[in-house]
Chains A and B, each alone.
Chain A
Amino acid sequence: MAEGLQEVVPTTGAEQFQAGLWRQNPILVQALGMCPVLAVSNTAVNALTMGLATASVLLASALVISSLRRIIPAQVRLASFVLVIATFVTVTDMLIEAIAIDVHRALGAFIPLIVANCLILGRMEAHASRRPPGAAALDALGMGGGFVLCLLTLGSLRELLGNGSLFGITVMPQGFEPWVVMLLPGGGFFALAGLVLAARWLSRTPARQGARP
């Protein structure tokens, strides 16, 4: 999996951070970690919680793994990565259950499923296990930020069109007929397809030409 992720190595810290936000955006460009993106993005609140949970797991595991990178033997590195990730996911799961029980119930099995998110394992393998903690944290922040932004956009879009509301507050005018399809699984696929298309179109404009991977 990681071999496909070789990328132009950004030099400065700021570039490193920005890469995850747009040019190497995990969802729109690399098409990684799609499952939770589609499943929980039917309301903005769910999407935001899921995004933040994933981003914090990403950051915490990146820090730990890049600090331990000289200790972990190469043969069992994937197993060790998964172990570290699973630990942080369990912590996050319990944390969300303690803070917001309603959201926890709505997300159901999808929080534990963060373990299986290929975005996280991919970043650990391709980046965190080869860099010092500072660089790994910046990369994780950028990737996590890109993930949250994308998820939030998708969640807001689906909630706005499917329910006429945003974060549970009705914003559409009275006569607005909700597009129920947007809340259904099919709508998730369509909305994400739209976002991917929009991202491609934006990165095609001349100013961004050089930035395309």
Chain B
Amino acid sequence: MIDAELWSLFVNAALVNNFVLAYFLGICPYLGVSGRLDSASRMGAAVTFVMLIASLCAYGIHQVLTIMDARYLELIAFIVVIASTVQLVEMFIRKTSPALFQALGLYLPLITTNCAILAVALFQTQRSYGFVESVVFALGAGAGFTLAMVLMAGIREKLRLGAVPDMAQGTAITLVLAGILSLAFMGFAGIGGET
């Protein structure tokens, strides 16, 4: 029963309410880094990782600020704590595992205060998820982001072989592709149960 609920939460965050294609979060990196397949999948992994950290931080902050009765500070606290935690983890990874840093490191500073990351923190607070739910939600959101990113990168690699009108090159054609992907993702509606 509980497992089924968590599974539906994961599917919802990853597919039905995909962060990029249904909520339009994290569009900047989505348009910017989706040019090549390998960088796109690394970016996806980095985002998932930061989302997980952000979710843990946000859970802690929410608990503390609720006790202190200072919820108006939530937004500022989220931003500052998430950004500094990511910086700390980045330094830690650089020291302990150069290989992992090579894979993720480049993108970490870029995404620390990305709107998709902040949204994970805000949504889980708004919907008052518990600890396990928060972690599952963050993982689902990250998986969804990675999926959307990899799909887009695959299409754009193929697209380089096609003839795109000069004027539509770049932003415009990517937006149209995202629109089509978003319509396709609507087909998932309902498989995760209601939100």
A→B interface (CB under 8 Å): 1, 31-39, 79, 82-83, 86-87, 89-90, 93-94, 108-109, 112-113, 115-118, 121, 181, 184-190, 192-193, 196-197, 200-201, 204
Contacts and interface: CB of A to CB of B under 8 A. Distances in A.
Contacts of B115: 35-36, 113, 116-117
Given A39-B23, A109-B123, A200-B167, A189 B28 contact: no
Contact of B122 (A1, A33, A38, A113): A113
Given A82-B79, A90-B76, A197 B168 contact: yes
B63 to A, nearest CB: 19
A150 B110 CA distance: 26
B27 A186 contact: no
Given A109-B126, A112-B122, A190 B167 contact: no
B110 to A, nearest CB: 8
A105 B182 CA distance: 24
Contacts, number: 115
Most buried by B among A1, A37, A90, A192: A192
A87 B167 contact: no
A193 B80 contact: no
Interface of B: 21-28, 31, 72, 75-76, 79-80, 83-84, 110, 113-115, 117-119, 122-123, 126, 167-168, 171-173, 175-176, 178-180, 182-183, 186
B142 to A, nearest CB: 16
A178 B110 CA distance: 40
10 contacts: A35-B115, A79-B84, A83-B79, A86-B76, A93-B75, A109-B123, A112-B75, A186-B183, A188-B179, A197-B172
Contact of A35 (B27, B79, B84, B168): B27
A38 B175 CA distance: 11
Nearest to B123: A109
Contacts of A116: 79, 113-115, 117-119
B186 A186 contact: yes
Contacts of A113: 25, 115, 118-119, 122
A39 B80 contact: no
A93 B84 CA distance: 24
Contacts of B22: 185
B139 to A, nearest CB: 19
A192 B174 CA distance: 11
Contacts of B80: 79, 82-83, 86
A197 B174 CA distance: 12
Nearest to A122: B28
Contacts of A112: 75, 118, 122
A89 B167 CA distance: 36
A82 B172 contact: no
A109 B31 contact: no
Nearest to B29: A118
